Amino acid sequence: MTSKTCQTDILIAGGGIAGLTLAALLGNAGINVHIIDKFPPQPFKKTKPSGRTIALMQNSLNIIKATGAWDKCEEYSAAIQTMCIMDNDLNVEFEAYEIGQEQFGVNVPNAILRAALYEQVQSIPAVTAHMPGALEDYKTQNNHVTATLEDGTQITARLLVGADGRNSLVRKIAGIKHREMKYKQAAITCVINHSHSHDNVSTEFHFPAGPLALVPLPGNQSSIVWVETPERAQELLALKESEFAETLQETTDGLLGGITLETKPESWPLGSIHAKTLIAPRTALIAEAAHVMSPITAQGLNLSLRDVAALAETIADTLRLGLDPGSETTLKKYEGRRRIDINTRIFGVDAMNRIVSNNVPALKSLRRGGFKTLERIHPLKKFAMRAGLAPQIDESRLANGKPL
Ligand SMILES: Cc1cc2nc3c(=O)[nH]c(=O)nc-3n(C[C@H](O)[C@H](O)[C@H](O)COP(=O)(O)OP(=O)(O)OC[C@H]3O[C@@H](n4cnc5c(N)ncnc54)[C@H](O)[C@@H]3O)c2cc1C
C-alpha cells in the first residue's frame, strides 16, 4: 500500500451535517480544508428523504444558506409558522408573526440536507474530501497536528476540528473529559402521510413518558418524533405498519385525519453528553462531539450550527490578520464565544425534559402553570419565543445572514 501525505490549514474529522457545513463555509472563503468521513452520503440525485428530519430555526437556516447548499433542499422542506403545545386540555399556540417573523424556521429531512452539503463541498476547489476515510490517530506538535487515516494517509494541519459525533475519537485522543447521561427514553421517528392539512403548524403533545411531535413537511406529510420508554418503543416498532399508524392516529386524537406511513419507524436511544471543554492543543470540538441532548425542543443541530458559525468566523478573522488558526489564542476565542450558550442549553433542555416527561403532580402543575402564564403575559411569551429561536449571547454574522 502506498500512503499519501497532505498539508492543509484545517482538517475536519467527521462529515456529518456539522462537519460538512464548516468545510463548505471555510472553503467558500478560499481557506484550505481537508475533511474525512467513514461513511459518505449517497449522491444527491439518489437520496430519498429520510424518516428523520431536522427542524432548523431561522438563524440556522441563514448559516446553511451561506454554504450554497440550501437551494437543492428547499423543495423538500416546509415552513414552521405556528408551534402548538397540547398538554391534556391545555393548548398553547405560538405564532411566528407575534415576533414579527414569517416563520420560526423549516423542517427538512437529514439525508437530503447532508447529501446537498456533500455535493456542495465536492464543488469547492479549496476543499479536499477523504470520504470514505477514517481517522485512526493524531499527534500534536508545536505548530501543527499530524493525523493518520486507516489507509495510511497522513494529513498535517494547523488545526484539527473534531466533528466526529457523540463517540468522538478526537475528543478521546485529545483527552477531553465528558459527562454522559443515558435517559430511560427512546425516540421513534418516521414520516407520515395524512388526510388533513398541517397548515404549517408543528404540534407537540405532552405525555408522561415524553413528548410526541408532528412537524410539517411539504404537502400532506409530517415527520414524527415520539419519545417513549425504551420498552414501549420496542412494542410500537413491533406493530404492523397499519397498526402503528392507527395507534399514532389515536394517540394524536385524529388531529391530522387518516394516517399512513411513508417511511418505516426507527428508534433512537436518548441521552446527553457534555464535554468539559471545547479545546485542546491544536484541536477544537464542535457539535455532537462536544454536546448531545434530548431532541425535545429540537435544539441539537441548531446549537451545533452556532458552534460551526463561531468557529468559521474565528478562523477566517484570524487568517485575515495573517495569524495562526490553531494557536491557543484563537482556540480560547472560540471557546469563549460558545461556552455560555452550550452550558445554558444543555442545562435548560435537560430540565425541560424532566418537567415535560413527568407525571409527578408538582412538576405537572409547574409545567401547566408555566404555559398558562406565557399565554396570559404577552411580553413574556414574546421573550420566550425569541430566546428559544435566537439566543442573544453569541451574535454571529453568519446566523444574521451576513457573509463570513
Ligand atoms: C430523534 C432525533 C431528532 C432530532 N431532531 C432535531 C431537530 O429537529 N433539530 C435539531 O436541531 N436537532 C435535532 N436532533 C439532533 C441532530 O440530529 C444531531 O445533532 C445531528 O444530526 C448531529 O450531527 P453531527 O454532524 O454533530 O454528528 P453526526 O451526524 O453523528 O456526524 C458525525 C460523523 O463523523 C463520522 N465519524 C465518526 N468517527 C469517525 C472517524 N474516526 N473517522 C472519520 N469519520 C468519523 C461519522 O461517520 C459521521 O458521519 C435530533 C436528534 C434525534 C436523535
What's the pLDDT tens digit per position in 136-181?
999 999 899 999 999 999 999 999 999 999 999 999 999 999 999 9
Report the residue among 155, 288, 303 best suited for mutation to probe ligand 1: largest number of ligand atoms under 8 A from its CB: 288
In a domain, 186, yes or no: no
- In angstroms, rounded to a whole number, what is the distance separating the alpha carbons of residues 214 and 192? 9
For residue 285, how far is its CA from the centre of ligand 1 (angstroms)?
13
Q: First vs last Cα of the chain: how many Å apart?
A: 40
Check residue 208 and give its pLDDT: 87
Of 17, 61, 118, 183, which is best to mutate to test ligand 1, by the most ligand atoms within 8 angstroms of its C-beta? Answer: 17
What is the pLDDT averaged over residues 72-86?
95
The Å distance, Cα 1 to ligand 1 centre, comes to: 32
Measured from the CB, is residue 15 less than 6 Å from ligand 1?
yes
Whether 145 is in a domain gets the answer yes
Mean of pLDDT values over 102-110: 96
* Domain presence at residue 369: yes
Q: 326: Cβ below 6 Å to ligand 1?
A: no
Which stretches within 66-151 are classed as H helix? 70-73, 110-122
Q: How far is the CA of 16 from the centre of ligand 1 (A)?
A: 6
132: preceding bond cis by omega (within 30 degrees): yes
Residue 215, in any domain of the structure: no
In a domain, residue 334? The reply is yes
**363 pLDDT higher than 90:** no
* Predicted local confidence at residue 372, as pLDDT: 62
Domain at 118, CATH number: 3.50.50.60
**Number of domains composing the chain:** 1
| Rounded-to-integer distance, Cα 368 and Cα 58, Å | 27
Virtual torsion, Cα 77, 97, 58, 52, nearest 10 deg:
-40
pLDDT of residue 398: 97
Mean pLDDT value across residues 100-118: 96
Atom of ligand 1 minimally distant from the CA of 57: 11
The radius of gyration of the chain's CA atoms, rounded to the nearest angstrom, is 21
Cα of 60 from ligand 1 centre, angstroms: 15
Residue 401: count of CB within 10 angstroms of its CB? 13
Domain range for 134: 5-180+271-400
State whether the beta carbon of 109 lies less than 6 angstroms from ligand 1. Answer: no
Read off φ and ψ for residue 393, nearest 5 degrees.
Answer: -65, -45
Residue 46 Cβ < 6 Å to ligand 1: no
- Ligand 1 touching residue 224 (CB < 6 A): no
Mutate which of 304, 311, 338, 389 for ligand 1 pocket (most atoms within 8 A of beta carbon): 304
Percent of the chain clearing pLDDT 90 (strictly above)? 78
Q: Reduced to 3 states, what is the DSSP secondary structure of residue 139?
A: strand
- Decide whether any atom of ligand 1 lies within 6 Å of the 304 Cβ: yes
Q: Ligand 1 pocket, 300 CB below 6 A?
A: yes
Does 265 fall in a domain? no
Phi, psi of 92 (to 5 degrees): -115, 130
Cα 288 to middle of ligand 1, angstroms: 6
Residue 195 CA to ligand 1 centre (angstroms): 32
Ligand 1 pocket member 49 (CB < 6 A): no
Instruction: Give the tens place of pLDDT for each residue, 255-293.
Output: 999 999 999 999 999 999 999 999 999 999 999 999 999
Q: What is the mean pLDDT of the chain?
A: 92
Tell how far the Cα of 54 is from the centroid of ligand 1, in angstroms. Answer: 11
Identify the residue whose C-alpha is closest to ligand 1 atom 21: 301
Q: Is 14 in the pocket of ligand 1 (CB under 6 A)?
A: yes
Alpha-helix residue ranges (DSSP H) falling in 357-377 = 361-376
- Assessment of whether the complete model's pTM goes beyond 0.95: no
What is the bridge-based pairing of β-strands 279-280 and 33-36?
unpaired
Please report which residue ranges of 184-240 form alpha helices under DSSP H: 230-237
| Beta carbon of 292 within 6 Å of any ligand 1 atom | no
Lowest mean pLDDT among 98-102, 130-134, 339-343, 384-388: 384-388
The per-residue pLDDT for 318 is: 98
Asked if the structure places residue 247 within a domain, the reply is no
CA of 295 to the centre of ligand 1 (A): 12
How far does the centroid of ligand 1 lie from the alpha carbon of residue 165, in Å?
Answer: 6
Mutate to test the pocket of ligand 1, among 35, 38, 104, 353 (most ligand atoms within 8 A of CB): 38
Asked if pLDDT for residue 2 goes beyond 60, the answer is no
Residue 255 resides in a domain: no
Please work out whether the CB of residue 134 comes within 6 Å of at least one atom of ligand 1: yes
Residue 3 has what pLDDT?
A: 72
For residue 162, the CA-to-ligand 1 centroid distance in Å is 12
C-alpha grid cell for residue 291?
Answer: 454536546
DSSP secondary structure of 75-88: GG-EEE-EEEEEET
